[in-house]
Amino acid sequence: MDKKTKLGQLNRLTVKHLTGMGATLDGGQMGDLLLPRKHMPDSLQEGSQIEVFVYLDSEDQPVATTETPKVMVGQVAYLKVIDVNKTGAFLDWGLPKDLLLPFAEQTNALRPGMHKVIYVYLDKASRRITASARLDKYLKEENTPLQPGQPVDLLFCGRSELGHKAVINGRYLGLLHHSDAYQNIMIGTTKQGFVKSINPDGRVNLALHLPNKAQLSELAERILADLEATGGVSQLTDKSQPDDIKARWKVSKGSYKKAIGALYKQRKIIIHPDRIELVKD
């Protein structure tokens, strides 16, 4: 059975013949596709195969290119707005014909020079490769395969009152709470992170760092040294506000509680409702 050529994807196609304009490729159900001469490698021969990206040209006809776009169908990317007209916004995705982001798929007004995180899909009516900023239409907000502690690739795509929204592994949506963001997070930033926890409703909470035993031990040692240097008392307890703990120690409240809990078990501190206190020898 012949392999189906996919629009908006990389395809490995066979060269049928070479012409002055370029190479004619066997596009399967799409028919013959032109690979323009400027994109042809010198070694290309009839009967050989070549990997190309298939998209629609300015006349909405399928065409092949050896150039790789910044994003393909089924992927997300952070792209620059090149132009805006009555049809929508047009984005730079690395090909001569810019990528359309229709008004109906926008979440806010866009101007040339702005950037936006978008998902690329094939429009069912027009069969055109199209962008959408409405990520929740195409990406799952509820987790199925992810596990707490799992490392993941993140693309930060928005903000909410609770924290920073991110695309996880290009397929899911999750949230990095403000209390777990120990640095400024800009929309469009990519980072490796971790699944911190999963809510009962399936929503994913993220972290940039997961504390291990060595890190917690090092934090406990720093807390102990600070107590010894500042009179043996600190107003930060396991009941303190996360922002106060983060401002002082650059860690989450959970990590801080584990560290002082370890010191308490070692009988090095006493935990009071309003303070922690160094145990005197």
**Domains in the chain, CATH or no CATH each:** 10-65 (2.40.50.140), 76-136 (2.40.50.140), 151-207 (2.40.50.140), 213-278 (1.10.10.10)
Place of tokens 């009962």: 200
The token pair at 145 is 């395969």
Task: Examine the pLDDT at 164 and tell me if it is beyond 90.
Answer: yes
Digit-coded pLDDT (tens) for 206-231: 988 766 666 667 888 889 888 988 88
The mean per-residue pLDDT over the stretch 247-273 comes to: 87
Region 187-192 average pLDDT: 94
Structural contact between residues 189 and 181, judged by C-beta atoms closer than 8 angstroms: no
Q: What is the mean pLDDT of residues 123-150?
A: 89
The reported pLDDT for the residue numbered 281 is: 65
pLDDT in the model for residue 125: 86
pLDDT at 132: 98
Distance of alpha carbon 257 from alpha carbon 262, whole angstroms: 9
| pLDDT at residue 41, as a whole number | 87
Q: Read off the pLDDT band of 1 (50, 70, 90).
A: very low
pTM value is 0.75
Contact between 132 and 138 (Cβ < 8 Å): yes
* pLDDT the model gives residue 2: 56
Q: How far apart are the first and last CA of the chain?
A: 81
CB atoms within 10 A of CB 167: 25
| pLDDT value for 212 | 60
pLDDT band at 83; cut points 50, 70, 90: very high
Name residue 206's beta-bridge partners.
195
pLDDT at 49 over 50: yes
Q: What is the pLDDT of residue 134?
A: 97
Q: Where residue 129 falls among pLDDT bands split at 50, 70, 90? A: very high
- Statement: residue 33 has pLDDT above 60: yes
Pairwise CA distance, residues 38 & 21, whole Å: 9
Average pLDDT over the chain, rounded to an integer: 90
Work out the pLDDT band at 69, boundaries 50, 70, 90.
very high
Which tokens in the block code for residue 103? 């008004």
DSSP the chain: -PPPP-TTSEEEEEEEEE-SSEEEEE-GGG-EEEEEGGG--TT--TT-EEEEEEEE-TTS-EEEESSPPS--TT-EEEEEEEEE-SSEEEEE-SSSSPEEEEGGG-SS---TT-EEEEEEEE-TTT--EEEES-GGGTSBSB-SS--TT-EEEEEEEEE-SSEEEEEETTTEEEEEEGGG--S---TT-EEEEEEEEE-TTSBEEEES----HHHHHHHHHHHHHHHHHTTTEES--TTS-HHHHHHHHSS-HHHHHHHHHHHHHTTSEEE-SS-EEEPP-
